[in-house]
């Protein structure tokens, strides 16, 4: 938050060129993407203060529906119709806007049902509250730092949300749950790079997180049998931006997974299997 405010004041005072403003926006956006990752950890905590911090972070990134939608995702992981799982062949550029809108719609539906069951007023809708907070912050930045401050605020939010959608894409690409199949380690890609885990609160232990969502990040571990990415999350982030290269690396792995699962009692091939629990 402090970095974002400093950057907005800086662009307002220095009158940066378009290129410099774009570069600074992307730089701040990386920090905001890390904030979403932090919010993801906080929203799973029992402390209401931690959850409020998570809601503030996501609102700052104009991603106000995330807190509600993320728990919906835990219940529907692997279901293409529910969002968050890209079917085979879908590019990140098609997935990102589609999943954002899908998530917003899911969150509104879930929250509206909760409000109706509780008999609460419409203003208790958390999706409405958090998105209103995001818009309010945009107005504040415009009033305090002018049009360049508003551009910076919206730009960093869009960049951070896109980064989160890329990570979601990498997490679950092509791992579609079959009829009557329960969620398991096989529905999230893993690659346990020490640096990635340090910077993302063990976000690569996604299979364990889905099975034990209330477990703090420092107690998560790798799960034997989870499908493995060919490289770390940060490397695959760059690969995902080139759809042809992404499909060339990932589709053969999906074929290998499908072949292994088609044979009873057959383990995943070593090339696509996480080997060790940590």
Q: pLDDT per residue over 136-180, tens digit each?
A: 999 999 999 999 999 999 999 999 999 999 999 999 999 998 877
Sketch the domain layout of the chain as residue ranges.
2-183, 184-227+242-278
pLDDT at residue 247 in the model: 96
> Mean pLDDT for the chain?
89
Question: What is the average per-residue pLDDT within 231-251?
Answer: 95
- pLDDT higher than 70, residue 34: yes
- Evaluate whether 81 touches 170 at the Cβ level (below 8 Å): no
| Spatial separation of the C-alpha atoms in residues 132 and 129, rounded to whole Å | 5
Give the chain's largest Cα–Cα span. 66
Q: Which token pair is 186?
A: 């096989």
Query: Taking a C-beta distance cutoff of 8 angstroms, is the pair 232, 193 a contact?
Result: yes
Band (4; pLDDT cuts 50, 70, 90): very high
- pLDDT at 183 (0 to 100): 76
pLDDT of residue 269: 54
Question: Does residue 188 register a pLDDT over 60?
Answer: yes
Taken in order 247, 175, 254, 160, the sign of the CA dihedral is: positive
* Cβ 3 vs Cβ 35: under 8 Å: no
pLDDT, residue 270, reads 55
Three-state DSSP at 19 gives helix
**Confidence band of 277 (pLDDT split at 50, 70, 90):** very low
Closest C-alpha to 209, from 232, 235, 183: 183
Left, alpha or beta for 264 (phi > 0: left; psi -120 to 50: alpha)? beta
The rounded distance, in Å, linking the Cα atoms of 186 and 205 is 12
pLDDT mean over 249-278 = 67
- The predicted-structure confidence for 110-138, as pLDDT tens digits, reads as follows 999 999 999 988 889 999 999 999 999 99
Confidence (pLDDT) at 48: 93
The model's pTM is 0.88
Mean pLDDT, rounded, for 38-61: 94
Can you tell me the mean pLDDT for 212-222? Answer: 87
In this prediction, residue 182 carries a pLDDT of 80
Q: Any idea which residue has 């695959």 for tokens?
A: 236
pLDDT reading at 103 higher than 60: yes
């Amino acid at each position: 938050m402090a970095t974002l405010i400093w950057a907005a004041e800086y662009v307002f005072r220095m009158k940066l060129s378009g290129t410099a403003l774009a570069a600074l926006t992307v730089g701040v956006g990386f920090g905001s993407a890390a904030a979403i990752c932090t919010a993801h950890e906080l929203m799973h905590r029992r402390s209401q203060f931690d959850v409020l911090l998570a809601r503030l972070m996501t609102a700052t990134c104009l991603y106000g529906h995330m807190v509600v939608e993320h728990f919906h995702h835990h219940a529907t992981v692997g279901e293409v119709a529910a969002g968050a799982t890209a079917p085979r062949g879908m590019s990140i550029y098609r997935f990102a806007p589609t999943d954002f809108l899908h998530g917003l719609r899911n969150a509104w539906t879930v929250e509206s049902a909760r409000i109706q069951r509780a008999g609460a007023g419409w203003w208790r809708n958390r999706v409405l509250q958090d998105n209103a907070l995001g818009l309010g912050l945009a107005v504040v930045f415009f009033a305090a730092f002018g049009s360049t401050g508003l551009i910076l605020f919206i730009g960093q939010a869009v960049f951070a949300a896109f980064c989160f959608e890329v990570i979601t894409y990498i997490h679950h690409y092509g791992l579609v749950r079959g009829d009557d199949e329960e969620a398991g380690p096989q529905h999230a890609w893993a690659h346990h790079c020490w640096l990635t885990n340090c910077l993302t609160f063990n976000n690569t232990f996604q299979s364990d997180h889905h099975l034990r969502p209330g477990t703090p990040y420092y107690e998560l571990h790798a799960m034997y049998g989870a499908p493995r990415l060919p490289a770390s999350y940060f490397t695959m982030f760059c690969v995902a931006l080139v759809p042809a290269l992404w499909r060339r690396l990932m589709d053969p792995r999906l074929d290998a997974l499908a072949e292994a699962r088609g044979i009873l009692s057959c383990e995943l091939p070593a090339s696509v299997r996480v080997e060790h629990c940590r």
